[in-house]
Chains A and B, each alone.
Chain A
């Protein structure tokens, strides 16, 4: 492509207004503009802004490498756009279609402006390449944003799932719910140990009623937690061992000897009260 002749690279600057209206019309026709998540005029603002940025970027004179300084505004704009759409709950194809729908307006303009078939073909190819790259970029950042959302939710769940409750003066309980993995056990262990120090509790009860399966790894984690609690000078009771879990533990050959285990939280509480020198009595009915 020579600079004297009109080529694919000039189309963004020379025909930006026409491209914009064609693009908007296309988005409206495909129904994307009518989506309820779009605020009025927001989509039009986005198309206008993107075209303006692309016109600026093409002034650098090249459009086959998007990782240059000139294309940086375009990239960051698309990043932001995908990030927004990921949060609003768009699907990845909806987000990519936004970029891909620019192809048709470009084709229309190029076909009208370039008569020579050979040059038209090469210009078309360049434009296609560019839009595909932009589309891929959008998808990539869309996925990144999605992953960030997932990671944040995981962290929130982690915090939610480790409540340490005080059952009695000097007795703490930790009802564990859900599958135990290394990361969770670490958080559980730390928060439990921290609470033991804060409250000066001599006995901690770990209730595993809500743990669906116990494998060797989970048993290992439990053992570690119990050992750490003992090292700090408190005692630990594991409660809520269901029959299947007891059988699994025996089958696995895990040695939980030396750790007091109880079938229910109530049993564990009774033992804990007894160890701290308390007892519960039933008053005779008057």
Chain B
């Protein structure tokens, strides 16, 4: 979608998937010179601390490569788990759904 990449996570993320995603995404951002990345995690309903950190990492990698990253569609259960774990995901942008995420990217000037 223009200069925005949309990543949809379809199944429960394993540790290896998360690392793979981080590598794939960073090279894709460079290749396509994308300015915005939307990561849709609405199908994700189980998270652990590793996945939480992986999400934060992916987000900061994208920012480093000059692309705004928005995590969209986080499930309530996931949000509660993250809060109980104490993972605040500071610096990560979040939005309710893809539509809101696109709005957020537009506001950020992508």
Using a CB–CB distance below 8 Å, which chain A residues touch chain B? Answer: 189-190, 193-194, 196-197, 200-202, 224, 227-234
Contacts and interface: CB of A to CB of B under 8 A. Distances in A.
B96 A234 contact: yes
Interface string B56-85: 000000000000001110111001101110
B80 A193 contact: yes
Contacts of A202: 96, 100
B68 to A, nearest CB: 14
Interface string B35-61: 000000000000000000000000000
B26 interface: no
A200 B76 contact: no
Given A193-B79, A194-B76, A197-B76, A231 B89 contact: yes
Interface of A is mostly: helix
Q: What 8 A-B pairs have minimum CB-CB distances, sorted nearest first?
A: A193-B76, A233-B94, A233-B95, A228-B79, A231-B79, A228-B83, A233-B96, A232-B74
Contacts of A201: 96
Of A194, A196, A224, A231, chain B has the most CB atoms within 10 Å of the CB of: A231
A256 B12 CA distance: 34
B22 interface: no
Contacts of A189: 80
Nearest to B92: A231
